[in-house]
Structure 1
Amino acid sequence: MKDPSAMENSETTRTRSFSCDALTTTLCNSIQALGRGFDVTSDIRLLYCKGAPGSRLVHLEEDNTRDLVVSDGVVVPNVPVEIHCSMGKTAIERKSVCTFHEVVS
């Protein structure tokens, strides 16, 4: 009989791996779509960008690439050096709520 916690850990690892693969694929598609056009009357999904992969309206140096490290250890290979990734804010900014009378006074 298999240990339920071991089965749960195996399932969690498999789910994380699938999620990481999906994230990496989406990031690669996004980078390939940079600088390409969209036909907004048809479809704006990344898969349906105008032009062949690698043909862009905005020139990127495709020969000078690097591996782009994204949060949680996800690495996107062969990204042009002109493309950067901003991690954004990691802290939650809290604002107090004012009553109507506090706002109008």
Structure 2
Amino acid sequence: MSVFHDEIEIEDFEYDEDTETYYFPCPCGDKFAITKDDLENGEEVATCPSCSLIVRVIYDKVRKPKFGHLALLFFHVSLSDLMLFALIFRRRLRAESL
């Protein structure tokens, strides 16, 4: 059984796109690290290369990235606006044809 220094949400980590690695400051001055592949494979322990501390990473694989939610919201709003526009346009066409 591992003894974790802390439990930290993945959103609190800093992400490096070049290495596809998440980093979080360690009390020793270095950084805890865990890769994107590790997370996708179910790993939940971020290690520090300079000391023996480890942290448990709180990560929900079902949850989409933050930008994914924004894109979905944007699409939903845009689709709703488009449907409203189509309804208004259709009513105007009917009114003009009468």
TM-score by length of 1: 0.31
TM-score by length of 2: 0.32
Which gives a bigger RCO, structure 1 or 2 (Cα 8 Å, sep 6+)?
A: 2
Structure richer in strand, relative to its length: 2
